[in-house]
Structure 1
C-alpha cells in the first residue's frame, strides 16, 4: 500500500465527494480516481478494498468538520448563558452545513454501516467519542444545562441539518434560527 499522506487525503476527500453525489453504490475505485483527477488504479494502491475505503472516508469526515481553535475558545471562555449556547449551536449548524458534501457522505456511510460491521464499529466509536467530548466540555465549561441537555441538542440539531441539506425548502433561515433558539431553551432548564 502506498503511504503518501497528501495523496491519501485527496483520495479520501474525493471518496467523500463521490459518496455525496452518487451514494454508496457509486463509490468505486474508478470513481474516486476520476474525482481526484489521478491515474486509474491509484485508489486501489492506497486502499486494500472498498470496505477499507468506506471506513477511511468515515474517519476523514470527522477530520474535515472539526471546530476551529477559536470556536473551542468560545466554549471555554465565553459567557455562561443560554444565549451563548444558542450562538455556539448556530456555529455548529453553520459549520456542518458549510461541509455539505461531507455531511451527505456521512449519511450515506451511516446507512452503509447497517450492512458493514467494521464501518459501524468505526462510526459508533467516533460518534460516542464526539458525544463524550461534547458533554465533558460542556460540563467543564460550567455552561447551564447537563449531559442530557447536550444529547438533546445533538439529536435535535442533527435532524435540522439533515432537513437543510436534503430538503432545503422545509425551513427558511429565520425559522431555523428560531428552532435552534427554541431547542436550547427547551433542552436547558432555567
Structure 2
C-alpha cells in the first residue's frame, strides 16, 4: 500500500524494550494465553481518551479485561437494523461468547466528547450538528440526557456522569444482557475517573449518585 509508512522509530524502540523486559519476564504466561485463549473476568467500556489508562487504574494483567473504547464511553441502544455497530458487537461477544461476569462503564473528567455534546445542546457547535460529522451523530446517543443536567452547577461533570448512566440503561436494552443480569450471571457497574487527582467514583445503585471509592 503506497500510502502506508513504516512504524515510527519511537514505537519500534518501545516495542523492543517491552519484548526484552515485560515479555521476557512473563513469556510463559503469554504463551498460555495464546494456547488456552482468553477468559476475561470483566468487560471495560471506556473512552478513547489517552489520559484514561484503565489497566493501570485497576492493576490489570494481560487477559483479565476485555476492553472496548469509543468516544465518551457510550453504548448505543439495541438496534439490530443492519448497520455496523462496533460497540454493540463488542458487547455481544463479551456477554454471549466470553461470558464475562461484569461490565464496567468508565467515564472521566474533562471528556472532550461529552463537552462536544454539551456544546451541541447549547448551540455552540454547528460543525457537530452537520450530518456528515461522525462525532456529532455518535454524541446524539447522549443528547437526550441534557435535560437531566441542564440546571446543574457543574454541567460538564454532571453530563459526564449522565453519559455513564445512559450507557448502563442502554446496555439493559440488549436482550442477552438483560437475560444474563436477570440470571445473576452478569453485573453492570459505572465509575467516573477524576484524572487530575487520580480519583474514582462509583455509581451507587441505592441512590443513583456517584460516591468516592
Same fold (TM over 0.5): no
TM range, normalised to the smaller chain? under 0.3
Greater percentage in helix: 1
Report the TM-score, using the length of structure 1 for normalisation.
0.27
Greater percentage in strand: 2
Report the TM-score, using the length of structure 2 for normalisation.
0.25
Q: Name the structure, 1 or 2, with higher relative contact order (CA <8 Å, separation 6+).
A: 1
